[in-house]
Every structure is written in C-alpha cells, then in structure tokens.
Chains A and B, each alone.
Chain A
Amino acid sequence: MTSLTALCTLLAVSALLIILFYIAWQGIDSISIRFLTDTPRPVGEGGGIGNAILGSLVLLLVSSAIGLPLGICVGVYLAEVGTGRFAGAVRFIVDTLTGIPSIVTGVFVYTILVIPMRHFSALAGGVALALIMIPIVARTTEEMLKLVPHSLREGALALGAPQWRVTLGVVLPAAAPGIATGAMLAIARVSGETAPLLFTAFGSRFFSTSLNEPIASLTVQIYNYAISPYDEWHAQAWAATLVLMTLVLGINIIVRFLTRKRF
C-alpha cells in the first residue's frame, strides 16, 4: 500500500516535470532578442512578443497598485481590528472570493468598466486582475500578522503607543517579509491569468502603455497563437510560454527559498 501512495505522488511529480521539460524543449528554439522585442507580425514574417511582455508588465503594475494595498488593509482588518460576527463574515467572503472563477471576474469588470467606457482598456484588465489579487493578499497578510507575537503589541501599547502606531510601526514591519512573499505569490498567480483579460484588456498588436486603450498580454497572446492553425505561431506560443513560466516559476521558487526557514 505504501508503494501505491508513493506511486500517486511520483505520477504527480512526473506530470510536472514532463510539462516543464516539454515547454523548455519546445520553447527554447524560438527565443531570440528579436523575438523578445518585436511586435507580432503576419505568418511567415517572424515577429515577436515584445509588446505582450510590456503589456503584461503594465497590467501587473496596475493590478498591484490597486490590489496590494487593499489586500494588505483587509488582512490588517482581519488580524488586528475586526472582531465578532462581522469580521467572521468578512473572512468568509474573502475566502470564498478566492474561489470565484476568474472568467466571472472578467464578466463583472466588463459590465462595470468596459460597457460605461465603451471600449476595452488596460485599466479594465488591471482592475480585473486586482480583484483576483485582493483576497489572496488579504488571507496571507492575515496569516502572517497572526504569527507576530502578542508580546510585541502589548509592549508597544504599554509604552503608550496608540493602536494605529502599533500596527504601522511594530506589527507590519515584523510581518513584512511574510507579507512580501504573499504579495509575490499573488503577482505570480495573476500573471498567468488569461480568462479575465479576454474581454477587458482584450489584446493589441502594438506597443502601448496607455491605460485607456486595449493592451496585449503574454497569456492572451499564447492563447491566440495556440488555437491558430499555423505551425510558426505554435512555435511562438511555446516560446512565449517559456518566458511566462520563467517568470511564474521563478517567483514561486524564490518565495520558497525565502520562506524555507519558517515552514
């Protein structure tokens, strides 16, 4: 029986390794400086994913600017301020929000931003990603704040510090590394999101940093190329995937390395 459970584990690990090696093997050939900096071109003319990389970065910046502060505040509320039933309800809602399908978030943002603005935009894409970030950041922040010993808070309060200064000056700095890793994981998670961007950020074939216009992203580009009938675009999809996976796995492994001692 032990061998059976070991086999389950082995299969899961080999699935991971097969997928990762296949991506590396298929993707490495098409990677070049030109590919990483060029815009997409028609079939047969090469082209690259430069604008998609830039677009993904813009989307991550917008979503982090909105999602990280809000998420951390919600986490502080849950760990430091909220008590009783209302806090329990908020915690339940935050937990349940993490399970809402990202495509539904996309539809929601479409109805509140894209319809009133009458066009797709980087802003809408960033807001959609931020909505996915908030509950993840909130929960990790709460967990990290709970690890801060009570004696620290009591010591600061005993010295006469008001609660807000205890939170800002003592508790948050003590938990900062943990909160930072939580934030990084949230960024890694949303950088792989495709569904909520399909009809918010939409996609673009040009370099753009304007929040008011549609913007390209690595994931949507991968999707469009993957379902196209052209071999050349398939190869580019694999190469773009290699870039995306380097980012996502890189963050995950760095976080793991940083938190090694604590778990």
Chain B
Amino acid sequence: MSAVTDNQYSSWRRMLSPTGNTGDAVYRVVMLLVALLMVAIVIAMVWALATESMQSIRQFGFSFLRGHTWDPIRGEFGALPFVYGTVASSLIALLISVPFSLGIAIFLVEQAPHYLARPIGFLVELLAAIPSVVYGLWGIFVLAPFLREYVQPPLARVLGWTPLFRGQITGFGLLTGGIILAIMVTPIISAVVRDVLSAVPSSQREAALALGATKWEMIRVVLVNGAPGIAGAVILGLGRALGETMAVTMLIGNRPEISASLFDPSYTIASAIANEFTEATGDLYLSALVELGLILFLVTFIVNGIARLLVWNVTRKTGGVGRAA
C-alpha cells in the first residue's frame, strides 16, 4: 500500500521537477502559482467590474454607449459625451506628439553624437517620470493661462470661421487637455520608437548608403523598416492617452457635452470616474460609473495588446533588446 503511494508521489515529483529534487518541485509550484496569480488578477478585474456594473448594463444595454445625456438626478446615463471627449483628446495628443516623438527618436538614434544622445535621451525620459497630478497643477496655473492669452485668441482670429476654433476662450477645454496629454505621451512614444529604430539592423543603413542614398534617404529606409514598430509605439501612446486621468481632469473643463469646438469644455471617461465616484449616490449611478471603468479597461487592454504585438515583432525579429517600459 505504502509502496503504491510512494510510487505515485515520486511520479508527481518527477512531473514537477525533472531533477527529482523536492526543493525544485516546491520552487516550480510556487513560481507557477505566482504566474497563475497574474492571470487570475486580469480575470478578477473583468469579473469584478462586470458584476459591479451589471445593474447599469441590464438597464441601458448598448444604449449606454449611444446616449447623450448624463443626468444622475433623473437616473439617465449615456456615455457618449465621455467616449467623445476621451477619443478626441487622445487624437489631439497623438496629432501633436507623433511628429515630435519621431523627430526626437530620429535625432537621438541617427543624428546626435553618442555623448549627447544619452544625457538628452535621459532628460526626455524624465518627462515620463513627472506625475500626472503635477502636470495638472502646472497646466492649471501655467499652460491654461498661456493658451488663453497667447494661443487661443490668434487661433480664433485666423481659423474662427471653422467650427473647431469658436466659442468662449477660457483656457480650459478639449484643446488644453489634448496638449497636456501630448506632452505626457511624447516621452513614451519616442522611447519606444528609439528602441525600434535601434533594432533596425545597421546592414540596412549601410546598404542604403552604399547605393548612394543621402543621409535622409537612408533614414527613410530605416523608418520604413521599423514601420510596424513605430505604429506599435503610436498605439501604445494612444493607450496611455486614453486612460490618463489627473492632468486631463484638471484641464479639460469637465462638462459632459459634445461640441465641435476645441475651445469648449469636454469630459473623458477617466475624468468622470475620478470626479464622480466618491459622490455617486445610489446603486445605479455607481454601477454606471463602474461600467465606464469596464469600458476603459477593455479598450486599453485591446489597444495595448495590439501595440505590444507590433513592437515585439520588430524588436524580437531583429534581436533587439526591447527595454521600453
């Protein structure tokens, strides 16, 4: 009897540890449990957010995403203004930061001398170390007044005939939120693009130069080579911009309205959660806010997943290190 259990035990042990060492079996089991915990956290997130928002999902269904009105008092919850504000502010941010990030990455990888590239690269990366709430504080007292005095009036004068640059000039609104987001995602995008460009094999550069390409034509070859990775970097930046909370909350004006003008106040999903969560009275209100969180989770999970796959493909194929966070 005991021989059988002994046998079963040792076969278990061999499965867990090829070396047949008990310590190794324990080690492998513990490590496997920790890895499973990661998977469990993601599943628990979806499950907890979904259960908590069930009331709102049942009541509104898909009209939650189509509804224009967000009126907690009458119990009417439509998330469209938040979705609009989130997408619009993120797109403004990308529109500004992508050319900048490409410029920075090209400068640091292809043009700057080595002794300059490292310290400057570090300074650009430090922009990512500044906390969101600090960007918000700086935005309230420096960026918003600056835009109100020196940027928005000329924009309104020159481009006021388009619906984009009309309305009251307050310094707070979609444009300001987008600009602060642009400053915040630039270090992230440029860091990943730097990794991607460094991963492009130098034989490509040498081949282009040997064929008589100028330096700029050579850089174009490098950019084309790294295109999927650059796309991944941009999508990674998008994922960051979509979920950024504090700075945007402090600058975007926080009014759940859809307006064509970039000067008007807007509202993002993350800001709505930050502002209203502790004030939510009633189960339905809280449930609607958690549903906003669920939407944000799913969207950023998918966006980040796509970005990771794109960046991995480039940096792995060419044997790059891929140290971008």
A residues engaging B (CB < 8 A)? Answer: 1-2, 4-9, 11-13, 15-16, 19, 22-23, 26, 70, 73-74, 76-78, 80-82, 86-87, 89-90, 92-104, 106-108, 110-112, 115, 131, 134, 136, 138-140, 143, 162-165, 167, 188-189, 191-195, 198-199, 202, 219, 222-223, 226-227, 234, 237-238, 241, 244-245, 248-249, 252, 256
B325 near A195 (CB under 8 angstroms)?
A: no
Contacts of B190 in A (CB 8 A): 12
B24 near A77 (CB under 8 angstroms)?
A: no
B308 near A12 (CB under 8 angstroms)?
A: no
Contacts of A138 in B (CB 8 A): 38
B239 near A8 (CB under 8 angstroms)?
A: no
Looking at the complex, which one of B134, B293, B307 makes contact with A107 (CB distance below 8 Å)? B293
B residues engaging A (CB < 8 A)? Answer: 17, 19, 21, 23-24, 26-28, 30-32, 34-35, 37-39, 41-42, 44-45, 48-49, 51-52, 99-104, 106-108, 111-112, 120, 122-124, 126-127, 129-138, 140-142, 183, 186-187, 190, 216, 236, 239-240, 242-246, 250, 270, 273-274, 277-278, 289-290, 293, 296-297, 300-301, 303-305, 307-308, 321, 323, 325
Closest to A70 in B: B34
Closest to A248 in B: B129
Looking at the complex, which one of A22, A77, A101, A131 makes contact with B296 (CB distance below 8 Å)? A101
Looking at the complex, which one of B27, B135, B243 makes contact with A100 (CB distance below 8 Å)? B243
A171–chain B nearest beta-carbon distance, Å: 12
Task: Sample 18 A-B pairs with CB under 8 A, ordered by A number.
Answer: A8-B99, A12-B123, A15-B183, A16-B123, A74-B37, A78-B35, A81-B35, A99-B304, A101-B245, A102-B245, A103-B274, A108-B49, A134-B41, A194-B245, A199-B278, A223-B133, A244-B134, A248-B131
Known interface pairs A5-B111, A96-B301, A198-B277; A192-B270 also in contact (CB < 8 Å): no
A40 to B126: give the CA distance in the assembly, Å.
Answer: 30
Looking at the complex, which one of B103, B131, B244 makes contact with A7 (CB distance below 8 Å)? B103
Contacts of B135 in A (CB 8 A): 19
A187–chain B nearest beta-carbon distance, Å: 12
B300 near A101 (CB under 8 angstroms)?
A: yes
B21 near A86 (CB under 8 angstroms)?
A: no
A74 near B41 (CB under 8 angstroms)?
A: no
B141 near A74 (CB under 8 angstroms)?
A: no
Residue of B17, B134, B304, B321 with most partner-chain A CB within 10 A: B134
Contacts of B30 in A (CB 8 A): 73
Minimum-distance CB pairs A-B, first 5: A101-B243, A192-B131, A8-B103, A99-B304, A164-B27
A104 near B297 (CB under 8 angstroms)?
A: yes
B305 near A77 (CB under 8 angstroms)?
A: no
